[in-house]
Structure 1
Amino acid sequence: MGVFVVGDVPVVAMESSEWVDSRGGALGGAETNRVHPVSIFRVPKTLSSFKPDAYMPLLMGLGPYHRFRPELYEMERYKLVAATKAKSEHFPTREFQELVDTLKEKEDEIRSCYHMYLDYDGNTLLWFMTIDGLFLLEFFHTCISKEDRLSSSWSRTPNLFESAGSKFADHSILHDVVMLENQIPIFLLGNIFDFLDIDKNVLLSMVTGFCSEVSPFKLIKKDLSLSEVYEHDHLLKLLYHLIVMDVKVPKEACPINMPSGAPCPEEETHPKVDSGSQVLCSLLKLLSHLNIRLVRKITKPINMIVSLPWAAAKSLPEVSRMATNLEEGLKSEFDVLGEDIKNPIVEEIMIPSVSALCKAGVEFCLSNGDISSIKFDKRKKKLYLPHLQLNVNSDVIVRNLVAFETSISDFLVLGRYTELMNGIIDTAEDAKLLKKKGIITYSLKTDAEVAQLFNGMTKSIRPSKVPYIDIAIEDVNKYYYGTRKVKVYMCMKKYVYGSWQILTFLAAVLVVLLMGMQSFCSVYSCPRFFNLSNDLGK
């Protein structure tokens, strides 16, 4: 058997006889009652292609997916140090192979947890899974409080990651430990504790302490029993459960109904440019039917102008230049007028930004609950949002939680929450306002990093409906688009800004006519031609 790399993927090469032996053994000895549902998935390309570093470990590979990546070999010695430390403390007189042998009956369960077929022989798989498990337990030991650590029977010697020169591991390894493709089964850790004859409450303290330490969200439940922990196949699944806690979502979630004054996404992305033109043409048509001599003198030349071939006229260099300048001027004016109303993109849900909502009278308040506490109080005009704590690893944690949710559920609760935050946080000012309200706390360098974090997070997440979040979005939109300021702006945008094309051409034709009159007057005497007195010019 040999290993070679195709692209970024390690491939194990086997002789034909080895292949038959391995497949025959698998088919002959598989026990279906030991097979677990797949829970450790490969992240789909639709997610990982936007930000690969958030899903692919950069320093530490745990489990089988990234085992043979050459760039991760440097950290293998840290795994061996952790395994050696555990052996010297807990089973110094026994061989390491004995620990590996105790896990043989779990081999089928371990394989069934992974979405990808694991083309390794049983002993190789169990060896590196055991070493990874011991390393992970040592890392969890650093995450529990110092008081619990001193009373812990896992280790009383200096921690591997607290030795001189190892402080880099605090964030760098955490970055990789929380990734979906780096998960290893929790029951494997439990079997290691059984072999070492250590109280499993220590394992319970480790995993729950780790979840409390790294979670950006408020955990629904912190006091878990060991049996509740074992119900979850891996650490990321446990963390997701503690955040979402099996939110009940109906099978058919109603789409958001936009309020009567709110624009639909299509109208915002592609505004109807002919609505103002239609109004103007209807007005001219009505005036033309009035039997008033003065009005006919005004509308007749205008109707002639409107009926001219504007496409051909715009092709003229001078007219095209003036039309372009006027068009840009009109657009800039309306951009100033509508600076509080953002134009949504495909990835964003239809909801105004924090700054725009604050100017419209909406107050942001910190809720005492979890994600399910999101709501909008229409009477008090208050939008309640849960607390969110961000640091350098929060982007990776949230992305991998959403990737796991995408793999197991049709209703993306965390995905919908990130869409909401992406919708309301557009700029650094939006992040700063939420920070002042205590809704977001972060150790990032700038407010702009928070906006960048959310603005790039939902570009590849499939849409989903979560009732309590959608109700809050709908109520906010109804209030916002029902305010007088927004109604006036939307009306002007529809009937004034929408008519910019005809206004551009009218202005261009007027300039051409004035230039023609100037040329005419340079040849003929304009006052005499129009029967005007020369005294009028004085």
Structure 2
Amino acid sequence: MDLHSILNVNFSKQRWVDQISKNFNEEDGIDVSHVPVCVFNVPKSIARFKPEAYVPQAIALGPYHHFETHLYQMERYKVAVVKAFLDPNQVHSFEHLMIEKLKKIEPMIRACYHKYLDLNGDMLAWILAIDGLFLLDLFRYYGQMERFIPKKLMRYETLYRDMLVLENQIPLVILNEIQKIINGDLELLPMMIGYCEVHSPLKLIRESNSYTGTANYLHLLDLMYHLIVNNESPKQDYLHQESSHGQGANAMHEITKKEHVITNIEDIKEFGQKLGKFKKFGKMVSVLVSIPWEKISDLLGFNIGKRSNKEDGDYLPRVTEIDIPSASSLSKYAYINFKPSNGGIKDTKFLATEAVLYLPVITLEIYSEVVLRNLVAYEIMTSNSTLELAQYVDLMSGIIDTEEDVKLLKSKGIIKGNMMNEEIVKLFNGMNKSNEHARGNETVKQLNKFYNKRLAIKAWKFMKKRMRGSRKVLIVILTLLACLLMIVYSFCEVYGCPKLFNKIT
């Protein structure tokens, strides 16, 4: 996205030299080797299908989007919240109390961010001090933003959505330092967990003894991610069941398109329209042009009139896909049932003996797509990730092709929430396959194996295989036959063929 800043966007080479030389010459430098990078700049390869989902819409938290013009109007409200959060003495001595201490840990702050921060130490400390205290107040008074931010200025749902954007995260190590500086006594982890429970589209781990201190989590999005992926039912629940712990990938199971034939038929149609200009052929050609070629071509397995919109400037990058049947196809042709699992994404299992696919319950609301996309982006950017969430999203993208698939999963209690069926289809059809190795996923293999064993599917695949060698000849014959019949029909419409069609003249 083309995001505009209130500052000069030119890279400051001198500032970079000053920062490096300062860190290099410090006698007691801070060791940042143990500080993990956790706030990533989402690459275009991930964000290209929906870039607006990876940037804040109403409020910037942290340095990445702080100076963008459409977000900067919120600064005065953030300052008002911070001043109300602190006591009068802390407000009076804020620069000495907060800014100077944050400047001392500047190397640690910079180490948390994936992108180079072209800001001096003072500016960075002020940004993190204001935004960090604002975020702490949000957790403390969750749902009460009307105290400082007029509702007509922004939708509070947008604010809560922005808090879960990857590039908008503030590391917990910084929030903990701010708490120490002001002698804060907020129980940060329970408040953050409560926030995650409200906004997570998937169930979180339930056992309270599984929650550890904030030192084990990097920021709010990281906390939600781990509470999602670590949610698993006890092993004994599936002790006597076949299981596979993988999830699938995005899919499409259409018949291969015959583009060269499509082009030929399109040319025939365009040529017919040109012939229509001559009076002698006018009526005949008008009949030919009015024939529903699209429907006829669909019956023959073609796809006329479905060319790419690239010429119109409407072209979008194609979503990568993996072959797996849709939910409705699995149900209709392989009699596979769908049931909600008791746990999370780790409990996604296909049991061939029962012909049941167990899926976690997912609740989709207005900003669930943003949350899912940023969770998956964070998982992909984390080097030690196993891509469990991304593979689950790939599976859902694979089995959801149409609204019929959504209705089926809703009827089974797997999909919940207020998001419209059409929006759910767009959500999952627009999620690019995130893992090239998902082709080897066991759940996908088992589903395809079970599906392909069905008698009707085997018969279709047998016919498709046998016809593959003579497909071009068959297509040409059928096309010529259809054209011949239409020409005869058009001729008789104009001149009449009583013997042929048994009409009375």
The answer to whether structure 1 residue 442 and structure 2 residue 408 are counterparts is no
The answer to whether structure 1 residue 183 and structure 2 residue 169 are counterparts is yes
2:217 to 224, 232, 249: 232
| Residues in 1 aligned to 2:371 and 2:113: alpha-carbon distance in whole angstroms | 20
String of CA shifts for 1:272-313, please: whole Å, max 9, x gaps.
999xxxxxxxxxxxxxxxxxxxxxxxxxxxxxxxxxxx99xx
- 1:353, 1:426 within 8 Å by CA — same for their partners in 2? yes
String of CA shifts for 1:14-46, please: whole Å, max 9, x gaps.
988766544321322383622423221111011
What one-letter code is carried by the residue in structure 1 that aligns with 2:204? L
- 2:350, 2:447 within 8 Å by CA — same for their partners in 1? yes
Specify the structure having the higher radius of gyration (Cα): 1
Q: How many residues end up aligned between the 2 structures?
A: 437
1:179/1:16 Cα in 2 relative to 1: closer, same or farther (>3 Å)?
closer
| Residues in 2 aligned to 1:141 and 1:421: alpha-carbon distance in whole angstroms | 35
- 1:366, 1:439 within 8 Å by CA — same for their partners in 2? yes
String of CA shifts for 1:236-283, please: whole Å, max 9, x gaps.
122212222499xxxxx9x999xxxxxx98994357999xxxxxxxxx
| Residues in 2 aligned to 1:18 and 1:511: alpha-carbon distance in whole angstroms | 75
How far off is 1:13 after superposition? Answer: 6.3
| Residues in 1 aligned to 2:208 and 2:321: alpha-carbon distance in whole angstroms | 36
- Residue 117 of structure 1: SS of its match in structure 2? coil
Q: Which residue in the other structure is 1:219 paired with?
A: 204
The answer to whether structure 1 residue 389 and structure 2 residue 363 are counterparts is yes
Q: Which residue in the other structure is 1:121 paired with?
A: 120
Q: Which residue in the other structure is 2:453 paired with?
A: 482
| Residues in 1 aligned to 2:82 and 2:66: alpha-carbon distance in whole angstroms | 17
| Residues in 2 aligned to 1:329 and 1:74: alpha-carbon distance in whole angstroms | 54
String of CA shifts for 1:190-245, please: whole Å, max 9, x gaps.
12222232335x11222211222211111235636886421222221222122224
2:320 to 338, 347, 350: 347
String of CA shifts for 1:418-475, please: whole Å, max 9, x gaps.
111111111122111111111111112x21111111111226x3423397xx222211
Q: Cα RMSD (Å) of the superposition?
A: 4.3
1:486/1:12 Cα in 2 relative to 1: closer, same or farther (>3 Å)?
closer
- Residue 416 of structure 2: SS of its match in structure 1? strand
How far off is 1:103 after superposition? Answer: 2.4
The answer to whether structure 1 residue 359 and structure 2 residue 332 are counterparts is yes
| Residues in 1 aligned to 2:404 and 2:3: alpha-carbon distance in whole angstroms | 46
| Residues in 1 aligned to 2:362 and 2:22: alpha-carbon distance in whole angstroms | 50
Moved more, 72-81 or 85-94: 85-94
The gaps in structure 2 that reach 5 residues or longer are 233-243, 276-284, 303-317, 490-505
1:451 to 411, 425, 442: 425
**TM-score normalized by the length of structure 2:** 0.74
| Residues in 1 aligned to 2:476 and 2:194: alpha-carbon distance in whole angstroms | 63
What one-letter code is carried by the residue in structure 1 that aligns with 2:446? D
- 1:373, 1:384 within 8 Å by CA — same for their partners in 2? yes
- Residue 86 of structure 2: SS of its match in structure 1? helix
1:16/1:175 Cα in 2 relative to 1: closer, same or farther (>3 Å)?
closer
Alignment of 1:459-478 (within 5 A): 461-465=434-438, 470-478=441-449
1:378 to 342, 348, 352: 352
Identity of aligned residues (%): 36
| Residues in 2 aligned to 1:427 and 1:15: alpha-carbon distance in whole angstroms | 50
How far off is 1:485 after superposition? Answer: 2.0
| Residues in 2 aligned to 1:266 and 1:210: alpha-carbon distance in whole angstroms | 39
| Residues in 1 aligned to 2:146 and 2:135: alpha-carbon distance in whole angstroms | 12
The gaps in structure 1 that reach 5 residues or longer are 145-158, 248-252, 258-263, 275-309, 337-344, 515-538
1:17/1:140 Cα in 2 relative to 1: closer, same or farther (>3 Å)?
closer
How far off is 1:395 after superposition? Answer: 0.6
Q: Which residue in the other structure is 2:69 paired with?
A: 70
What one-letter code is carried by the residue in structure 1 that aligns with 2:38? S
Q: Which residue in the other structure is 1:295 paired with?
A: none
1:17/1:266 Cα in 2 relative to 1: closer, same or farther (>3 Å)?
closer
How far off is 1:130 after superposition? Answer: 0.8
Moved more, 205-214 or 10-19: 10-19
How far off is 1:492 after superposition? Answer: 4.0
How far off is 1:502 after superposition? Answer: 3.2
How far off is 1:116 after superposition? Answer: 1.5
- 2:319, 2:431 within 8 Å by CA — same for their partners in 1? no
| Residues in 2 aligned to 1:54 and 1:23: alpha-carbon distance in whole angstroms | 34
How far off is 1:386 after superposition? Answer: 0.5
1:491/1:332 Cα in 2 relative to 1: closer, same or farther (>3 Å)?
farther
**TM-score normalized by the length of structure 1:** 0.70
